Chain A
Amino acid sequence: MEVPDLKMMQKPFSSQEQQAKERHLISEAAAGNGKAFEQLYQLYFNRLYQFIFRINRHHDCIEEIINDVMYVVWEKAATYDQTCRPSTWILGIAYLKSLKSAKKNTKREDESVEFNDELDYFPDRGARWVSQVEDSNWLEAALEKLSAEQRAVVEMTYFQGLHYSEISEIMQCPENTVKTRMFHARKILAKFFLELNSRS
């Protein structure tokens, strides 16, 4: 069944009320209010989970990274200067943490495992696996082709609904770099997407 387009009409994370609420929770956390901090944690858990997963592709250490991120938020809540959105600050921390983890994971795989990317995801040549990339798998396969930085831009644009200027703040890079990363990412995504469509 098709999901109603409603989901795309709103930017659920960035409403003014939401931001005000988050700012309030952060200042409460800065004052040592554990309950407020827990609320902020719950508020961000899903969002961070998705964000981190899509960048580092590894499911196993996400909760750890979330806690690393939220630990920094708790420790540094008093220094949050309110000039950027709460989400820009928190996602910025999450971005750095997950990038570090993604690099570590890639390195680990490169060192310990020899495998052919193509073979791995188009297993028809490997014969032992299902003969084609399934519908639901195409995105996975496509995202795997992107660099962690490109995935981060896709995630923040298409999943989190952020403007490129906010993304550049989070990633601490020029806006043009964000656009360039998106340019390459969308080319790759489109290639996989069209391939999928031509099959069905």
Chain B
Amino acid sequence: MLSTQIKLTNQSEHQKAWDLLPWYINRSLGPVEHAIVKNHIRTCITCRIELNLQERLFKKIQQTDLLQQVSHASFAQLKKRIETHPEVSISNKCTVSNKDLIFFPFQLQFLGFVKYTALAASLLLLAAPFMLNSWVIQPEMEGAYRTLANSSESTDNTNNIVRIVFADQPDSEQIEVIVNSVSGHIIKGPSPNGVYEVQIGNHQTDTQQVNDAIFRLRDHASVIFAELAQGLSVSE
């Protein structure tokens, strides 16, 4: 039976075996189909060459590290983006001409790409850094929160509260120094995302002073983000 099959090798059998080669290689064929391919490749040099090639390909593919592939694909996308904006040269790329970067309201000069990626992730969470605990606490304190004294105080407070993210996690002493340098004090933080809430001066501090403080903070090499808390979240 088998020997007659071998002798009857014809175009359609070749086609069938040829088509089945990938599944012969991945060992998923049932016994019947497996035998068809196995017998056919004994006599068909074309299929043997193809089998050899696909096997090498299969091995190579199996050895490819997924993470490496992910990084190549990600980089290819980045490359595409850069190449389609050729007018943005290396020297002026930090002037944020790319639409996607406008989202970040501060300068990126001293950020490498790695830092940038990690930063982007933490910034996504920045808009509501304390959301979780305020969300949990709020129902309980709702009654007290609505007293006149509390509500007016909280409105005043948000005008001079700044949210800050520090680069490379400086120690608490360094943070203290930076915060003191703009007459601020930490009122909350760090959140799980490394966000600090800092009050600048006292309730009499005016907008100009707070803005000055924000600019000075942004100039500081250890500060990667400084922004008025008020615009970012209304939950606190």
| Interface set of A (CB-CB < 8 Å, partner B) | 2-3, 5, 7-9, 11, 49-50, 53, 57-59, 109, 113-115, 120-121, 123, 126, 128-129, 136-137, 139-140, 144, 154, 157-159, 161-164, 166, 179, 182-183, 186, 189-190, 193-194
Contacts and interface: CB of A to CB of B under 8 A. Distances in A.
A183 B26 CA distance: 15
A8 to B, nearest CB: 6
Contact of B83 (A3, A126, A144, A166): A126
Interface of B: 19-20, 22-23, 25-30, 53-54, 56-64, 66, 68-70, 72-74, 76-77, 79-81, 83-84
A161 B27 contact: yes
Nearest to A7: B62
Nearest to B22: A157
A139 B53 CA distance: 15
B70 A189 contact: no
B51 to A, nearest CB: 11
Nearest to B64: A139
A59 B73 CA distance: 8
B116 to A, nearest CB: 15
Contacts of A158: 22, 25-26, 57-58, 61-62
B53 A190 contact: yes
Contacts of B63: 2-3
A193 B79 contact: no
Contacts of B83: 115, 120, 126, 128
B69 A139 contact: yes
Contacts of B70: 53, 59
Contacts of B28: 11, 161-164, 166
